[in-house]
């Protein structure tokens, strides 16, 4: 079945300026009357997660208070925050911040699930993942992808992937022209994922999740599972938020 993973990280350190959420933070933005945070908490619990780390940055005080309140309402599910003071840099720094903070509280902080705070997923995806076989031992990281390109709401903003005829990754990025999948913002990682980020940070004083993807994929230690029929939405603009509201009735809530 799905990897035995009890820890998850939500990246919520960015400015979120395009969304302009009246709730004060993109992770607190409500879709269908519920916060993005609440959806993430429910989804990860479907995978057996018992510890959640929310990485904060911009407007961290309000978010930290909201996370504490949400955690106090949970039984057998611990939620902590980790502040990334370099939140203006790439998201890999937030991953490392989250891992470092979690290791002070959680014995099994690795392996871990990882998602972007402003991505909304159909819970059916997590039910499906829970029934899939565990990754092979040599796999150090995974990025869930979507090949249903006709369902992507904002294609220009999506992180795109191009796979060759042998299903090897040929390119990843927002600007690549010829692509056949998009990144849905859901990852799974082991120690190799962390070490790839640390190596990139050492080289150029910054790192992103794409560094882990390309490094591990090149060495044959990465996987790209498909979300299949499940829908999701990157809620980073008012228009994307409205689209998320429109597809919410199709979700298995």
Contact 87, 59 (CB under 8 A): no
Residue-level pLDDT at 7: 97
**Sole residue written with tokens 């979690």:** 102
Asked whether the predicted pLDDT for residue 1 surpasses 60, the reply is no
In this structure, the strands spanning 7-12 and 112-116 are parallel
Cα(56)–Cα(98) distance, integer angstroms: 9
Measured CA to CA in angstroms, residue 80 lies from 49, 52, 92, 121, 176 at distances of 13, 6, 19, 22, 36
DSSP type of residue 90: -
Residue-level pLDDT at 19: 67
Helix (H, G, I), strand (E, B) or coil at 56: strand
Domain 7-145+184-242: give its CATH code. Answer: 3.90.550.10
Residue-level pLDDT at 14: 84
Cα(201)–Cα(206) distance, integer angstroms: 5
Asked whether the predicted pLDDT for residue 23 surpasses 90, the reply is no
Residue-level pLDDT at 115: 98
**pLDDT tens per residue across span 144-202:** 999 999 999 999 999 999 999 999 999 999 999 899 999 999 999 999 999 999 999 99
Question: Rounded mean pLDDT of 75-90?
Answer: 93
Which residue would you say has higher pLDDT here, 58 or 113?
113
Cα(222)–Cα(196) distance, integer angstroms: 12
**pLDDT tens per residue across span 198-223:** 999 999 999 999 999 999 999 999 99
- Domain boundary assignment for the chain: 7-145+184-242
Helix (H, G, I), strand (E, B) or coil at 49: coil
Asked whether the predicted pLDDT for residue 17 surpasses 70, the reply is no
């Amino acid at each position: 079945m799905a990897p035995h993973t009890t820890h998850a990280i939500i990246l919520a350190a960015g400015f979120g300026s395009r969304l302009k959420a009246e709730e004060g933070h993109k992770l607190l933005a409500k879709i269908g009357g519920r916060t993005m945070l609440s959806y993430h908490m429910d989804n990860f619990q479907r995978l057996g997660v018992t510890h959640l780390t929310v990485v904060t940055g911009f407007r961290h005080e309000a978010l930290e208070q909201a996370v504490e309140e949400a955690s106090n309402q949970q039984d057998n599910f611990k939620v902590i925050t980790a502040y990334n003071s370099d939140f203006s840099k790439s998201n890999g720094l937030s991953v490392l911040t989250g891992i470092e903070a979690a290791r002070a509280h959680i014995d099994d902080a690795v392996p871990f699930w990882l998602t972007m705070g402003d991505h909304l997923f159909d819970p059916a995806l997590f039910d499906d993942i829970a029934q899939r076989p565990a990754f092979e031992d040599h796999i150090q990281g995974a990025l869930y992808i979507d090949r249903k390109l006709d369902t992507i709401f904002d294609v220009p903003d999506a992180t795109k992937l191009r796979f060759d005829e042998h299903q090897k990754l040929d390119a990843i990025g927002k600007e690549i022209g010829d692509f056949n999948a998009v990144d849905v913002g859901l990852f799974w990682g082991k120690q190799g994922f962390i070490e790839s980020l640390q190596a990139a940070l050492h080289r150029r004083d910054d790192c992103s999740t794409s560094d882990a993807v390309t490094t591990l994929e090149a060495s044959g230690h990465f996987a790209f599972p498909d979300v299949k029929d499940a829908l999701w939405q990157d809620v980073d603009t008012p228009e994307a938020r409205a689209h998320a509201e429109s597809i919410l009735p199709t979700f298995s809530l």
